Structures are given as structure tokens and as C-alpha cells.
Amino acid sequence: MKKQQMYIRMITASLMRRRSRMLVALLSIAIGATILSGLVTIYYDVPRQMGAQFRNYGANLILTGTDGAFSESDMQQSLSVIPAGDLVGAAPFRYENIRIHEHPVVAAGTDMNGAKATSPFWRVEGEWCSADGQIMVGKNVAESFRLKTGEMLTLSFTPENADKDTADSTLDLEITGILDTGGKEEDYVYLSLHDLETLAGAGGLDVCEVSVSAQSEQLKAYTNEIGKRTAAVSAHLVKRVTASETTVLSKLQALVLLVTIVVLALTMICVATTMTAVVTERRKEIGLRKAIGASDRSIIGEFLGESMMLGGIGGILGSVLGFVFAQQVSLRVFSSDIRFQWLLVPLTILVSVGVTGLSSLLPIRSATEVDPALVLKGE
């Protein structure tokens, strides 16, 4: 039999035949590994989770024309820079001054699906426009003109430079919803780009609000790339959103990191205490091993082997339970599933083995100080 085989046989026997004793040590390691693995999973998934949350607060990228309005094809060319997976939505806007009952009002032509995606916080009393011939009016506009959903509304438009004899163009639209945002949108009316074109004639886009699921640095990269690719369009970050997203994210990650370090320290203390108890309990065995010829190196190797094997088993348990833990936290805090990070499995096992080995070093070192003559003394 090779020495290594006997070594494995000994440490396996120690763990398997002393199950009740080792279970306590294993439990402390597994709990530590579970919390560590769970927190690291959350740490890495937080940007994705928070990104999704922040997308509810509106667009984080704005496209404007470098020289006035820009065309839809310019917009599409700009958006092609952003991978489909990162693009949450894009809402083009064309603004025109129109009149309702001879009072000036700003009309915004947009793609309703895009607006829904970039502005999920908009509250619509009634329905979103789903086809041409429909309009949503801002809450203030509705109050000023006493408008209600289901009513028909006539919009009038006077082209620029039109002479006195030119008749205003008009368009009758059905009010499907009253828009309540708490912001300037309540002073506008929203209709499809096609309807606005029918009313006001052909025209370019004034702005395009884009919602992208990406970190600040990546957003900056997209911005630069858009500038390079489409001369007619310049992209800007909505600093209010991106800056607060970055701040919240970094603070949250720092918090998770801090908790992870605290848990790591507590696990180490717990393992060190357990291993100290194990060494104290096995002083006679250590004395016997030394008496029959075990060197200090052998004693260290055997105890370290035991603790590292415990660490490995604890790490395997921890990586599975850690995912369950992270999943529960994610479901309760972010109301969404978490992604299983395969890389975390070997990482958790390695960290668990390392931490267990490291925290066992001092207690194991004390094992080599056992004097066989003292502990084996007969009665």
C-alpha cells in the first residue's frame, strides 16, 4: 500500500467514524460557505438586478440631432450600436406646437411601444394608444380642456411661414387615456408619429429616448460609438439616472462586500475554535502518534488534510445551499430569479478549503507541541 493511500484511509476514517464530532465542524464550515457563496452570487447579480430596477426610472441615453432634427434611419443606425440584449427600448419623439380650441399645446409624436418600454413609470388612466387615430392627453391638458377618455379631440396645426389665406390642417383623434406622470409630460398630448405627420407634414425627429441595460462605463462606450458611426446624431447619457444608478450600485456592492468579509472572519473564528476543540480532544491520539514515530510534519499534514477535506465537503454544500439562499434573497428583494454562476462552485470550494486550512493552522500547530510522555502517562 502506498503512503498516500493510508493517508487518505486515515483522514477518511477520522471523518466518517467520528461523524457526530465532525458534523459540528462541518456545519460551521457549510454555513459559512453558504453565506459566502450566496453573498458573492448576489454581489455579481446585483448590477443586473439593479439595472432592471433602474430601467423603471426611465431612459438613460438620449439621442439628439447634431444639427437640428434627425431621421428615423439615423436613429436606427445609432441604435444598431447597442446589442439587442442590452436594448430595453427606444422611443423617438417629434414635438410640434398644435392648438386645441385655439389654445397652443405641445404635441409629441412617438412610437407608443417604445415609450412604454422607456417610461414604464407613466401612469395612464384609460388605455395606451394602440393604433393611428388615437391620442393620449396629459393630465393638465385634460383638466384645462375638460377632456375625458373616449371623447374625440380635434387638433389644429398652422404650418410655419403660412400666409393668412392658408387654412390650418386639422385632425380628429379619439382620446384613449389621460397621462399622469407628475412631470412635464402632463402638459403634452401624445399621438403616433404617423398621425403627427398627417397633421403637421413630414419632419425629422427631435429626440430619441433610449433605455439600455448597461453599466456607466459601457454606456459611455456606446455613446462614443454612436457619435462615431452616425454624424447626424449625438448621444448623451442621462446623468441623473446613470449617476444615481452607479452610486446606489457601488454602495450596495460595498455593503455586500463588507458583509462577506465579516462572514468570512466569523467563519474563520468558528472553524479555528472548532479545530482547537478537536485538537484538545485528541491530545492523547496526537501523543500516541508522536510516540510511535510521527514527525511534526506528519501530524500537521494529517490534521490539515482532515480540515481541508471538511472544507471541501463544506464548500460543495455551501455552493449549492448558497445558490438557494441567493435565490430566496433575490426573489424577496428584487422579485426575480437569480442566475446560477457555475464558476462560483469551484471558487466556493477553493475558498472554503483555503479558509478552513488557514483557520486550522494555529490549532494544528499547537498539536505539534503535545508532549507524548505527558499525555500518555499511565494511571
Partner 1 sequence: MSLLELNHIYKIYGDLHALDDVSLKVEKGEWVSIMGPSGSGKSTMMNIIGCMDKPSRGEVLLDGVDIAKESAKNLTAIRRDKIGLIFQQFHLVNYLTAVENVMLAQYYHSLPDEKEALEALDRVGLADRANHLPSQLSGGEQQRVCVARALINYPEIILADEPTGNLDEANEEIVVDLFHKLHDEGTTLIVVTHDPEVAEVAQRTLVLRSGKLHKEIVNENFTGKIHFEDRQEVQVNA
Please identify, among the stretches 10-18, 25-33, 206-214, 253-261, the one whose residues bind partner 1 according to the rule CB under 8 A. Answer: 10-18
Is residue 283 part of the contact set for partner 1 (CB under 8 A)?
A: no
Give 167's DSSP letter: P
Q: Of 294, 308, 309, 353, which one interacts with partner 1 (CB under 8 A)?
A: 294
Is residue 379 part of the contact set for partner 1 (CB under 8 A)?
A: yes
With CA atoms as reference, report the closest residue to 123 among 201, 58, 177, 194: 177
Distance from the first to the final alpha carbon of the chain: 37
Beta strand ranges found along 139-250 (DSSP E): 152-157, 169-180, 188-192, 207-212, 233-237
Residue 29: all three cell numbers together: 464550515
Please identify, among the stretches 2-10, 206-214, 232-240, 336-344, the one whose residues bind partner 1 according to the rule CB under 8 A. Answer: 2-10
Please identify, among the stretches 121-129, 149-157, 185-193, 282-290, the one whose residues bind partner 1 according to the rule CB under 8 A. Answer: 282-290
# chain residues binding partner 1, by CB under 8 A: 32
Is residue 9 part of the contact set for partner 1 (CB under 8 A)?
A: yes
Is residue 13 part of the contact set for partner 1 (CB under 8 A)?
A: yes
Beta strand 103-110 with 188-192: parallel, antiparallel or unpaired? parallel
Give 149's DSSP letter: T
Please identify, among the stretches 9-17, 82-90, 137-145, 339-347, the one whose residues bind partner 1 according to the rule CB under 8 A. Answer: 9-17
Is residue 284 part of the contact set for partner 1 (CB under 8 A)?
A: yes
Is residue 343 part of the contact set for partner 1 (CB under 8 A)?
A: no
User: Which CB atom, from 120 or from 372, has the smaller least distance to partner 1?
Assistant: 372
Instruction: Tell me whether residue 1 is exposed, middle or buried, using C-beta atoms within 10 angstroms of its C-beta: 0 to 12, 13 to 18, 19 or more.
Output: exposed
For residues 79 and 163, the answer to whether their CB atoms sit within 8 Å is no
Measure the CA angle with vertex 97, ends 151 and 132; round to 5°.
Answer: 45
Is residue 277 part of the contact set for partner 1 (CB under 8 A)?
A: no
Residue 206: all three cell numbers together: 427631435
Q: Of 162, 261, 262, 291, which one interacts with partner 1 (CB under 8 A)?
A: 291
- Any idea which residue has 498516500 for its cell? 4
Is residue 10 part of the contact set for partner 1 (CB under 8 A)?
A: yes
Please identify, among the stretches 25-33, 191-199, 284-292, 353-361, the one whose residues bind partner 1 according to the rule CB under 8 A. Answer: 284-292
Please identify, among the stretches 83-91, 207-215, 351-359, 368-376, the one whose residues bind partner 1 according to the rule CB under 8 A. Answer: 368-376
Is residue 20 part of the contact set for partner 1 (CB under 8 A)?
A: no
DSSP element (H, E) containing 61: strand 61-65
Cβ neighbour number for residue 27 with a 10 Å cutoff:
14
Tabulate helix, strand, coil % of the chain (nearest 5). Answer: 60, 20, 25
Q: Of 20, 84, 202, 293, which one interacts with partner 1 (CB under 8 A)?
A: 293
**Which of positions 37-96 make contact with partner 1 (CB under 8 A)?**
none
Is residue 164 part of the contact set for partner 1 (CB under 8 A)?
A: no
Which parts of this chain interact with partner 1 (CB under 8 A)? 1-3, 5-7, 9-10, 13-14, 17-18, 284-285, 287-296, 298, 371-373, 376-379
